[in-house]
Structure 1
């Protein structure tokens, strides 16, 4: 039974981490968030100590380090993207291994620096790359590996997860803190695509605004048109007609690859993967972090060439622009 500390306990994804800690038979000992809306902890670890000031959380974890039975073994990180690097360093510094939400960091050079910190403290950093553990994606990878070695597949990826105006007031709407749409909601899809189809040979960005991004990859084994959005207006008509707010689609050669189910359990699988000594470390995170960094800094060419059909939707102003 391992002792966990959690940073970012009030966030959207934190309950999945709490559930994963509990379902794998471990204990959440301490948690931190500057916001105190963390009643969800009662459903998982009501005895966990909670802090709204990082300094007091740091002091508490440091004290536990000197009590063998209470020493923190793992620090789980669910904080805003731009704080991951700092919080990972904290975890390593207190002598714990680290499990961090995606994106691991915002820039590829942050990963290189963290490799040095890992060696300094003799601990490991693991990234939640949950799609690599999804049965449908594992089956897809095996199909590609066992198929014709010279075949290049045509892939379309679309992910629309509707968000309200609150999004732009939060850290997620600040590119310097979230990395923008492609980083915030796309990074695990890019990881999945390169894990299955190989490294990026060509990267084109057609659209990159406050509420959507679209582009085209040429991978070693695939040509990929992709589209991401948080604007409900970009949902396909058949989804709108049913009152849906989310659309997730992955097609290969025109055939849908169903992977919508099972997402809520993938964090538990990810934790077990780490506890079994098989977690995805810094090197595994590098490809997707390099991709989102490149997308963030690339010239946007507009709707020309191989763009995703959903990219043709009408562009809108930022809701808070005059």
Structure 2
């Protein structure tokens, strides 16, 4: 049984990590968050210690190291994006392996720094790339790899997840902390596209503001038009008033249905890590490079066939 610590226990995604820790037969020994809205712990790991000050959390974790019976094995990180780098380093330096939510870090320079920390500590960092474990994605990857065609697949990615006014008041609405919409809600889709269609060959941004972004990605085996948004006004008429989220991926005109099967992917990811099959720094490098480039690009006019259908109404 592995002993875990959790950093960012009050975050949206933290309960999935707590559930994964429990469902893999492990123990959440201690948790930390600056906010104390963590009542979910009672139903999953009521014996866990909890701290609202990082210094007290770190001191407690360090003292646990003195006894093999209490020492932590793994630190899980669900904190805001801009804190990942510091929290990952802290976990590795505690002598623990680390599991971190995406985006792992905002830049490849930070990835290289974490490689040094891995080398210095002898511990490993793993990224949660849960879509790689989704059966529909695995099936599509196998179809693409088995197919023999003389043209690239035409892919259209649309993801609209409505967010209220709270979003822009939170750290997620601050690009210095979330690194913007494309990074915050899109990074796992970019990883999925790379996982299925190979290396990225071209990266173009057509539109970007604090609420939405659109662009074009060309991979070894696909041409991808993408659109991401947190604005409910972008929802298709068929969805408005019925659901707050619209997720669609088509490949050569055929819809890829993967709306279901998300509920236990964190547990699957944790089990893979515990089995020695987790995704590490180099696995995350491609999607980190992709979002880092997207943030650096100035929007340009879409060439024929490269603009997402929603782009036209944004540009008027």
Q: Which residue of 1 aligns with 2:99?
A: 99
Q: Partner of 2:262 in structure 1? A: 263
Question: Deviation of residue 149 (structure 1)?
Answer: 5.4
CA contact (8 A) 1:203 1:217 kept: yes
Determine if contact 1:234/1:313 at 8 Å carries over to the other structure. Answer: no
Measure, in 1, the Cα distance between the counterparts of 2:311 and 2:178: 22
Match of 1:237, SS state, is coil
* 1:138 and 2:138 matched: yes
TM-score normalized with structure 1 length? 0.96
Pairing 1:289–2:288 present = yes
The Cα of 1:313 is off from its aligned counterpart by 3.5
Aligned-partner SS, 2:72: coil
Q: What secondary structure does 1:291 align onto?
A: helix
Q: CA RMSD in A?
A: 1.2
Equivalent residue, structure 2, for 1:222: 222
Partner of 1:247: 246
Pair 1:37-2:37 in alignment: yes
Q: Does residue 1:204 correspond to 2:204, yes or no?
A: yes
User: Residues 206 and 304 of structure 1 are in contact (CA less than 8 Å); yes or no, is this contact kept in structure 2?
Assistant: no
8 A contact 1:30–1:48 mirrored in 2: yes
1:10 pairs with 2:10 = yes
Task: Say which SS state the counterpart of residue 91 (structure 2) adopts.
Answer: helix
Please say which of residues 144-153 and 259-268 is displaced more in the overlay. 144-153
Unaligned runs of 5+ residues in structure 2 are: none
Deviation of 1:304 after TM superposition, in Å, equals 4.9
What does the per-residue CA deviation read over 1:221-253, in whole Å, with 9 as the maximum and x for residues that have no partner? 00000000000000011011x521000001001
* Residues 303-314 of structure 1 aligned to structure 2 (within 5 Å): 304-305=303-304, 306-314=306-314
Q: Secondary structure at the match of 2:201?
A: strand
Unaligned runs of 5+ in 1: 317-322
Is 1:127 the counterpart of 2:127? The answer is yes
Deviations 1:45-74 (A, max 9, x none): 011000000000000000001111111100
